[in-house]
Structure 1
Amino acid sequence: MSEKLSANEGIKTRSNYLRGTLAEGLQDLSTGSLSEDDQQLLKFHGTYQQDDRDIRAGRRAHKLEKAYSFMIRIRVPGGVTTPIQWQEVDRMADQFANGTIKLTTRQAYQLHGVIKSNLKRTIKEINDTAMDTIAACGDVNRNVMCYPNPYLSSVHAEALKISQDISEHLTPQTRAYHEIWLDGEKVESSEEEVEPIYGKTYLPRKFKIAVAIPPSNDVDICANDLSFIAIVEEGNIVGYNVAVGGGLGMTHGDEKTFPRAANVIGFCKPEQVVDVAEKVVLVQRDYGDRTNRKHARFKYTIEDRGVDWILAELNKYLGYDLEPARDFVFEDNGDRFGWMEDDRGRFHYTMFVQGGRVLDTEAYPMRTGLREIAKIHEGDFRLTANQNLVIADIAPENKAEIEALMETYGIASSHERSALRLSSIACVSLPTCALALAEAERYLPEVIESLEEKLEEVGLRHDAITIRMTGCPNGCGRPFLAEIAFVGRGPGRYNLYLGGGHNGMRLNKLYRQDLSQEDIRKTLDPILEHYAKERNDGEKFGDFVIRKGYVAATEWGGDFHDNIKKEAFASE
């Protein structure tokens, strides 16, 4: 007897290619919510239903419905947008959302706080800007990431084009998106609609793809289901190594769930990339677990069947064999801040954005400053995979005026922070994420500020250490690749992980479980002091804590689950 399929499989099957009753539900303004089935389908269209958890108890006490709103994720393949698109997102943040823009770790925009009556209009206006939200969420390929910093500009354009080609090829073909959000004509036909790549039930779970250009691993290839690593020879991309099976989500207390680092399985030529991407997706479509959503990611398909099996099966789907992988070296997974000039004499400025949240404060009117820059900038706004922003491709004749605006609005000093802060990532977490167990975006700055006192004392202010915080173990902020990571277990309680690779190529290990906020500094201060005094020349923090025995090494390539089973949930 076959196992029962997960509930989401039935929702997709009944949905008529992602339509469900979304159109009818949007018209029902007697509630700020949508039906449970439609909430799942919404994700394929790029939006999540949420509520403000800060005021949930108060509304319950007054017998009021939860304060429902919607998060909209705008898909930006490769993270490159125009100044006009930035201005439009900025306008919609005020007109429809909560007055802020969130830059995500997958190089997308998010708008938070959009109420149901504005949802359709907002998505339509996003499409009017030549961007979209389809497949930004859901059981499909998500936003395709690509190295955004232009200091390797001679090959960046090619890699960006590859990422956009992959994204376009793997975008769902259903007409539902245009019918529901863009008032597209409903085509009446006796033939059933066809979804050529995904089929009627799409993928078992979400799928993430990245394109990286060594020596920068800013897109964290080990965290993605599929990655393409550019192999550059004499200034040209000769092909891409193919890495599969990365994924960081897990569940506290469930040792059958675990983060897994990707495996490099071969090499393909540039003209083969889109075909390889499609066939990897097809393998997961056909063999992924559709009975248990916690076991449905591609990493578990690979873990269950083996890397050799996946490669052999992929080669069957392709009709040719991947070539042996080529050598490559990653140095770090962070951003390069401040000014850069490329070989064309064009300028680029990478600015730090705390937690990826673009907003105005009395002390730092960042959002206003970026709005004013967008009015005169003729290049790009490039979103990085670390929640930061590149004001890119600035013409020499415009540099002085943009520099003046940056000074006026405080942007010019955005990167004059400790290297620890510049290497930080936080997920959104509370108050809007339904999965959050603890604070992240709102709390990590406070943790870093506290740790900076010790960094100053021991002379580590300028030493980059990747630090990440998430409100739960689902991995949205890629915590399990950080040198220091906090993963929420409950209100004010965190698991502390240490020892990730500074280049993003090694998973970290659990060091302390269920730390209170008061415990964080007294736990980390002596380790930071030890690092400052006894590190080897050029030794990174993650390597140091392994060498000194704070945690054991976790080899790249997927053995993290063995350590989880043995150690992660043992009592301290």
Structure 2
Amino acid sequence: MDIIAKLRDIPLDELHPNERLKVESDYLRGTLEESLAELATGAVAEDDTQLTKFHGFYQQDDRDLRDERRHQKLEPLYSFMVRLRLPGGLVTPKQWQTLDDVASRYANGTLRITTRQTFQYHGVLKENLRPHLQTIHQAMVDTIAACGDVNRNVICTANPHRSAIHRQVYELSHQISARLLPRTRAYHEIFLGEERVAGGAQEREPDRSEPKAGSGQGALDPQEPLYTRHYLPRKFKVALAIPPENDVDLFAHDVGFIADVVAGELRGFTVCIGGGMGMTHGEPTTFPRLSDPIGYCSLAAVPAVAEAIMRVQRDNGNRRDRKRARLKYTVEEMGLDAFKAEVERHLGEALAPARDYHFDDNGDRLGWIQGDDGLWHYGLFVQNGRIADFPDGPQLRTGLREIAEQHDGDLVLTTNQNVIITQVDASRREAIDALLDRHRLGVETSPLRRNAMACVAFPTCGLAMAESERYLPSLIDKLDTVMGDAGLADDAIIVRMTGCPNGCARPYLAEIGFVGKAPGRYNLYLGGGFSGQRLNKLYRENIDETTILETLTPLIQRYAAEREADEPFGDFVIRIGVIKETTAGREFHGA
């Protein structure tokens, strides 16, 4: 049964309020025109704050200034976080320069690489939203569907210039993104000034390269043939990976495609479904979950398979309780086999059996590596993804701007929040090295720091319960000392931190994960897999920095003394009985 037929029989008061909002929004237009025109406030109307997400930006305020402004009887200092749709993370040098210009002209002077392989800006004032979006549009970039209950930015193993297979996977990320893009013209009308056409939205032009539709693939809504006016129950995320590198943390996403490479040829993909990181403190019915393989498909079928999975989630996802609305819970409630059967019904054919795969790690290749065509690529570490000029530290923004001005190769963002400078001829390596040195960009860092990630948290994220990006570097300083004292200065452990349990930095996959509980206090998780193949488990709850160091120091010392050859820290703490292995998301909260 399709979503329109299902929801027709459910009273509106039984649905989450966001469901009514979407239906009544005139395909995501709402009253955004009026909200943007209201100059008496830096905010938009309450309902419109939900709709802005579908257009790629969130309303936020500076939480550091809340109390001060309240005492001054001023409204919060509202601004917007703007996120780009950038499938595969590639930016040309010219685009980089435009995006850098926008950071100064309309935002807070920094760019931040997200864990979804794109940029986001902070501090964009309401009056700057339109010029911000129009400027990046001129650079052939947009923010459509970068947030909201739609398919988000499609990510893939970084750098399409590294090999022919990397290029094929990158191109698939764009095909999936285009196929799953909402069709409403609201973004173009409201922010780019295009005139509204009769009927309100452009009809979707048929793609003659698409596989023939199966029995479940009829268009339900002429203005939004994929999403309908109901859109999805929650966000939807797709990732593609090329083994043995799991740099995208493939199993953390709603849909994952694992490349099957045989004798240097890309044959097809193993299809995985049901991943997702978010949960809610104190609610055991919510949990992170890793995706499961359901079959195998050809190269040509990948976009259609992604669409079929999205349709099943659209029609069966929970629209009453948003905390249980992600695809992972739909899989749990329907069962993997039933969900797969629905996917195959939409496809009109069965998936082949899943193929074997193996991942070695989930990190990036930093430093110089050579591509199949002989050109070189430099993986540049960017601490927590923040591109800025740091006092007494790396001049990341200035340095990367200068590289974009002098280098004719592309720059690629990674899901580990780093940058790859691509397509460097051997004769140009010395010049790139000189730029890196001049701006202190190639400074050697510890393996612990290189494998650490943090979400933004304070001061802008409204969900943050504790610091993350601003705090993790100093904690890594202290943990580096612990590692050095234990003789592990050259060893890598995956460390991740978030300011709340929503999991933006994928902390539940870390060997050591910190999740904010209150200012200065964190839940400590241990036992994640080094290649992103296993969830961790709660070890200590609501602890401060002193307790964190008192807890981890003896464990790291014991790891140095008792580990087996090439044994990752996450495997070690499980083997010696410090923490039990989490074998499924539903067991995440168990002892």
Whole-angstrom distance in 2 between the partners of 1:76 and 1:18: 21
Q: Per-residue deviation at 1:193?
A: 5.7
Distance in 2 of aligned mates of 1:140 and 1:2:
22
Instruction: Choose from 303, 307, 311 the match for 1:274.
Output: 303
Deviations 1:138-182 (CA, angstroms, capped at 9, x unpaired):
000000001004695131000000111000111111011100111
Aligned to 1:439: 467
The correspondence for 1:506, drawn from 534, 538, 543, is 534
Q: Is the CA contact (8 Å cut-off) linking 2:453 and 2:497 kept in structure 1?
A: yes
Corresponding residue for residue 170 of structure 2? 160
Mapping of residues 155-234 of structure 1, within 5 Å: 155-189=165-199, 194-234=223-263
Distance between the aligned counterparts of 2:118 and 2:178, measured in 1?
Answer: 15
Matched, 1:349 2:374: no
SS in structure 2 at match of 1:412: coil
Give CA deviations for 1:202-225 in whole Å, capped at 9, x if unaligned: 000000000000001111111100
Q: Within 5 A, what are the aligned runs for 1:27-66?
A: 27-66=37-76
Check the 8 A contact 1:223/1:261 in 2, yes or no: yes
Q: Deviation string for 1:490-539 (max 9, x for gaps)?
A: 11110000000000000000010111122111110110000011000000
Q: Is contact 2:117–2:417 with CA below 8 Å preserved after alignment?
A: yes
CA distance in 2, matches of 1:278, 1:188: 28
C-alpha distance in 1 between matches for 2:222 and 2:469? 42
Question: What letter corresponds to residue 585 of structure 2 in structure 1?
Answer: F
Structure 1 residue runs of 4+, over 6 Å off? none
Segments of structure 1 that go 5 or more residues without pairing to the other structure are 568-572
SS at match of 1:372: helix
Aligned partners of 1:264, 1:190: CA distance in 2, in Å? Answer: 40
Describe the SS at the equivalent of 2:64: coil
Report the alpha carbon displacement of residue 398 of structure 1 after superposing the two structures with TM: 2.8
CA spacing shift, 1:301–1:190, aligned 2, 3 Å:
closer
Percent of residue pairs bearing the same amino acid type: 52
TM-score relative to the length of structure 1 = 0.96
The answer to whether the 8 A contact 1:146-1:219 is kept is yes
| AA aligned opposite 1:484 | I
Q: CA deviation at 1:85?
A: 1.0
1:570 counterpart residue number: none
Deviation at residue 395 of structure 1 after TM alignment = 2.6
Q: 1:132 to 1:151 in 2, by over 3 A?
A: closer
TM-score (norm 2): 0.93
CA contact (8 A) 2:160 2:170 kept: no
Letter in 1 for 2:462: A
The one of 126, 142, 146 aligned to 2:156: 146
Amino acid at match of 1:323: A
Find 2:387's aligned residue among 338, 352, 358: 358
What is aligned with 1:521? 549
Distance 1:224 1:190, change over 3 A: closer
Once residues 150 and 197 of structure 1 are traced to their aligned partners in structure 2, the CA distance between those partners, rounded to angstroms, is 29
The answer on 1:464 being equivalent to 2:492 is yes
Larger mean Cα displacement after TM superposition, 354-363 or 321-330: 354-363
In 1, are the aligned partners of 2:277 and 2:289 still within 8 Å (CA)?
yes
Deviation at 1:563, TM superposition (A): 3.9
Partner Cα distance (1:230, 1:460) in 2: 34
Please point out which of 293, 296, 302 is paired with 2:325. 296
How far off its partner does 1:475 sit?
A: 0.7
Task: Compute the displacement of 1:233 (Å).
Answer: 0.5
Matches of 1:417 and 1:282 in 2, distance apart?
A: 44
* Residue type of the alignment partner of 1:407: D
Structure 1 residue 362: Cα displacement: 2.8
Verify: 1:533 aligned to 2:558, yes or no. no
Cα deviation code 1:326-362 (max 9, x no counterpart): 0110010011110111121211000111110000023
Select the residue among 12, 24, 43 that pairs with 2:34.
Answer: 24
- The 8 Å contact of residues 149 and 335 in structure 1, kept in 2 or not, is answered as no
Give the total of aligned pairs: 561
CA RMSD of aligned residues (A): 1.3
Cα deviation for residue 399 of structure 1 reads: 2.4
Matches of 2:65 and 2:222, distance apart in 1: 43
Asked if 2 retains the 8 angstrom alpha-carbon contact of 1:471 and 1:488, the reply is: yes
Secondary structure of 1:487's match? strand
Aligned 1:101-112 pairs, distance under 5 A: 101-112=111-122
1:367 aligns with 2:397: yes
Q: Out of 384-393 and 147-156, give the one that drifted further.
A: 147-156
Match of 2:353 in 1: 324
Please say if residues 507 and 515 of structure 2, whose CA atoms lie closer than 8 Å, have aligned partners that are also in contact.
yes
Distance in structure 2 (CA, Å) of the matches to 1:344 and 1:396: 12
Q: What's the CA shift for 1:134?
A: 0.3
Q: State the distance in 1 between where 2:247 and 2:199 align.
A: 46
Distance (Å, rounded) in 2 between the aligned partners of 1:149 and 1:185: 37
Could you tell me how far 1:236 is from its partner in structure 2?
1.1
> Is 1:249 paired with 2:259?
no
For the 8 Å contact 2:54–2:144, the answer to whether it is kept is yes
CA deviation string 1:176-195 (max 9, x = no partner): 11001111111124998610
Question: Relative to structure 1, is the Cα distance of residues 417 and 286 closer, same or farther in structure 2, using a 3 angstrom cutoff?
Answer: same
Kept in 1: contact 2:185–2:200 (CA 8 A): no
State whether structure 2 residue 101 is matched by structure 1 residue 96.
Answer: no
Give the Cα separation in 1 of the matches to 2:289 and 2:362. Answer: 17
Matched, 1:550 2:578: yes
- AA at the equivalent of 1:165: Q
Superposed displacement of residue 230, structure 1? 0.3
Return the letter of the residue paired with 1:248: M
Give 1:561 shift. Answer: 2.1
Change (3 A) 1:515 1:190: closer
Aligned to 2:510: 482
Q: CA deviation digits over 1:390-445, x for unaligned, max 9? A: 111123343222221111111122xx111110001100001100000000000000
SS at match of 1:54: helix
SS of equivalent residue, structure 1 residue 228: strand
- Contact kept, 8 Å, 2:157 with 2:240, in 1: the verdict is yes
